[in-house]
Amino acid sequence: MTAAAVEDSIIWSDDFMIGIKELDYEHRGLITEINELHANLRGQADQERIGDTLGRILARLHAHFALEEHVMAEGKYAHFAEHKAEHDLLIDEYTEHMFKFRSNPTPAARQALEAVLRQWIVNHILSSDKKMSLMINSDDPA
């Protein structure tokens, strides 16, 4: 991994833990995949390898969101629809930026793609997922 890739990596910390073991595991895996993408984009990886990483991230997002939505439904989370809408928006934004980058891998397209992932992973986990976890783990899911 290059110095630039390390500098741009998301460093896992306990701040990302939401207290739901399966989701914490998934979040850590997503961060690992995103960091691999950063390294591939900053290094000398070919477009096929980058494409494979982009595809794995998309598949992992779909699987993760399905699990998270199952947890929310089981926990009767009152804000399920709002939270799911965030998931749907991220999938749409990521897919759009992924296809833009694949068709024209410019530095601007790369930066936009990475920004979507970085902003989501930090903002969504630290705000929406933490809120969801606190409510599900309390006696009152509202």
Question: Global pTM?
Answer: 0.88
Q: For residue 118, is it within any domain?
A: yes
What CATH number did the domain enclosing 51 receive? Answer: 1.20.120.50
Number of domains in the chain: 1
Q: For residue 77, is it within any domain?
A: yes
Q: For residue 104, is it within any domain?
A: yes
Summarised one tens digit per residue, pLDDT across range 75-131 is 999 999 999 999 999 999 999 999 999 999 999 999 999 999 988 888 999 999 999
102: Cβ–Cβ under 8 A, 6 or more apart, which residues?
47, 51, 54
Q: For residue 8, is it within any domain?
A: no
Domain that holds residue 125: 16-137
Q: For residue 2, is it within any domain?
A: no
Angle between helix 107-123 and helix 21-42 axes, rounded to 10 deg: 160
Q: For residue 5, is it within any domain?
A: no
Angle between helix 80-103 and helix 47-74 axes, rounded to 10 deg: 170
